[in-house]
Amino acid sequence: MMDREAEWSALLRAAMEGDGRAYARFLGLVTPVLRGIVRARGRDLGAAGQEDVVQEVLIALHTKRHTWDQTAPLLPWLYAVARHKVVDAFRRRGGSVHLPIDDFVDVLEAEAEPDALAARDSAALIGQLDARSAAIVRAVSLEGQSTAEVGARLSMSEGAVRVALHRAIQRMARLAKGAE
Amino acid sequence: MKTEDLISILAADATPDAPLRPGQIAAASVLAVVVVVGLFLSLIGVRPALAQALLRPEVAAKAILPLLTCVLVAPVALRQLRPGAAGLPAARLLVPLSLAVGLWLWAFMAVPAPLRFAEWMPSAVVECLGLILLLSLVPLWLVLRMMGRGASTAPARAGALAGLAVGCGVAAGYSLFCTKDNPIFYVTFYGAAIGLVTGLGAIAGRRVLRW
């Protein structure tokens, strides 16, 4: 196994320079680990609720990725963001949660198990977007179209699609913190 | 939406994202305080014979103590921009706090009894508290707005620290206008005003700095 710190920080660094492929790989590696933490800690939420929390943490990682100091190690930053958002998500769902930081270290260092939740569908966030944003989000995600293809179909410029997508994500981030 | 679909959306939004620059936020915050206080002083004027007055230790202390506190607190406030930052180590406030308490006690003993609280008139108290609070509002709002780009994992604490730093900076500038030179007066009411700005920062931070 390659050093996780080195591998993940290289991927996120590339992502922050605009490399979408590296970013997808980074998020794909982080997700099962997050899922393990949420599953272990949030049994009361049920599978659907757990996956919603995982998605909220991913969105928070995305909207706050610029707060990682690239000269410092990535994993402590990642623990701090994940821990904050998991505690926050559980608290808003009416439960309290005790999350010792060691848990994150252990889980992040363990190998992720294959998981059954990955294929689960969650409507919690996308369901609250307006129709046009939701259509763009669906086209990019479910149908795997590029932003250029979506633009052609909806007669929008690619730039406008990117902006709309960016705004939809920011909106989901606000929804996820319970601000709307 | 499946999580893997969310990942492809986020990946499609992988536009270059400028890293957070705490140094720039620090510089802009100092500028905000200096501009607001500078504008106030240029409109209303500094106290008469400021230069000579500053040679008196109790007058100099009125500016130096809050400035010292501001310099000690500001770096801790800035660290709150990133997730997982530690709070303010209590020892850091020990020096300015004990100097302030010592100054208050020294003045209490040095000033004759009838004069100790002579300046505690409602108008003077309102002027001091009100102006420090008022002058702090805009800089505090700007600082919190800028801090919103960060990701503090303790929003109320981050807001309180920002309020403490701004309140101290403003109080130091305000002291160049203020002619109440009795430490019994200014330690008490500058302290109260700075405390109010700190509380305001905590309340606002809890809302503005959530993410």
Q: DSSP letters along A140-163, please?
A: HHTS---HHHHHHHTT--HHHHHH
Q: Which residue of B has its CA nearest to A128?
A: B1
CA–CA gap between residue B37 and residue B33 (Å, rounded): 6
If you measure CA to CA, which chain A residue comes closest to B148?
A: A64
Q: What is the per-residue pLDDT for A123?
A: 61
Residues A79 and A155 in one domain: no
ipTM: 0.84
Q: Could you give the number of structural domains in chain A?
A: 2
- Which of A101, A117, A133 delimits the end of a domain? A117
Same domain, A139 and A90: no
- Structure-token pair, residue A74: 């990535």
Identify whether residues A56 and A102 lie together within a single domain: yes
- Is residue A64 located within the same domain as residue A142? no
* Residue A130 shares a structural domain with residue A52: no
User: Rounded to an integer, what distance in angstroms lies between the CA atom of residue B162 and that of residue B30?
Assistant: 12
Q: Any CB–CB contact under 8 A between B84 and chain A?
A: yes
B10 touches chain A (CB under 8 A): yes
pLDDT one digit per residue (tens) for chain A, 180 residues = 568 999 999 999 999 998 999 999 999 999 999 998 888 877 777 787 888 889 999 999 999 999 999 999 999 999 899 989 888 888 887 765 656 656 666 665 555 555 555 555 556 677 778 888 888 887 887 677 788 888 888 888 888 888 888 888 888 888 777 655
Domain that holds residue A20: 1-117
Cα distances from A80 to residues A30, A54, A105, A106, A108, in angstroms, run 14, 15, 11, 14, 12
- Is residue A99 located within the same domain as residue A17? yes
| B137 min Cα distance to partner chain A (Å) | 24
Is A74 within 8 Å of chain B by CB? no
Contact at CB, B13 and A165, closer than 8 angstroms: yes
Shared domain for A110 and A130, answered yes or no, is no
B208 vs chain A: nearest CA distance in angstroms?
11
Q: Is A19 on the interface with B (CB under 8 A)?
A: yes
Structure tokens, B147: 């801090």
Identify the pLDDT of residue B5: 86
pLDDT value at residue A135: 81
CB contact under 8 A, A122 and B3: yes
- CA distances (Å), origin A98, targets A56, A103, B108: 19, 10, 49
Q: Which residues of B16-41 are buried (b: 16+ CB within 10 A; e: fewer)?
A: ebeebebeebbeebbebbeebbeebb
pLDDT of residue B39: 97
At residue B190, the pLDDT reads 97
| A96 and A173 housed in the same domain | no
The pLDDT assigned to A58 comes to 94
Residue range B163-194, pLDDT digits in tens? 999 999 999 999 999 999 999 999 999 999 99
Pick from A21, A38, A58, A62 the residue to mutate for testing the B interface (most B CBs within 10 Å): A62
For B64-113, write each residue's pLDDT tens digit. Answer: 999 999 999 999 999 999 998 888 888 888 999 999 999 999 999 999 98
Helices (H) and strands (E) in chain A, counts: 8, 0
Question: Mind telling me how many Å the CA of B160 is from chain A's nearest CA?
Answer: 19
Distance CA B193, CA B182 (A): 16
What CATH number should be reported for the domain holding residue A151?
Answer: 1.10.10.10
How large is the C-alpha radius of gyration of chain A? 17
Q: Which residues of A touch B24 (CB under 8 A)?
A: none
User: d(Cα A81, Cα B83) in Å, to the nearest integer?
Assistant: 6
A107 and A133 inside one domain: no
Average pLDDT, chain B: 94
Within this chain, do residues A46 and A86 fall inside the same structural domain, yes or no? yes
Look at residue B210 and tell me whether its pLDDT is greater than 60.
yes
Of A78, A99, A117, the residue that ends a domain is A117
Tokens 């996308």: give the residue. A126
Among A92, A117, A142, residue at a domain's last position: A117
Check A27 against B19: CB less than 8 A apart: no
Determine, for residues B153 and A141 on separate chains, whether the beta-carbon distance falls below 8 Å: no
B25-46 average pLDDT score: 97
With beta carbons less than 8 A apart as the criterion, state whether B186 and B178 touch. yes
Determine the pLDDT at residue A179. Answer: 59
A24 and A84 inside one domain: yes
Q: Which two tokens stand for residue A60?
A: 């928070």
Q: How far is the C-alpha of B4 from the C-alpha of A103, rounded, in Å?
A: 25
Domain of residue A2, CATH code: 1.10.1740
pLDDT tens figures, B11-25: 988 877 788 999 999
* Same domain, residue pair A72 and A111: yes
Give the distance from residue B106's alpha carbon to the nearest chain A alpha carbon, in angstroms. 46
A165 contact residues in B (CB cutoff 8 A): 9, 12-13
Q: Is the dihedral of CA A17, A20, A21, A23 positive or negative?
A: positive
Q: How far is CA B16 from CA A13, A20, A152, B180, in A?
A: 10, 10, 24, 53
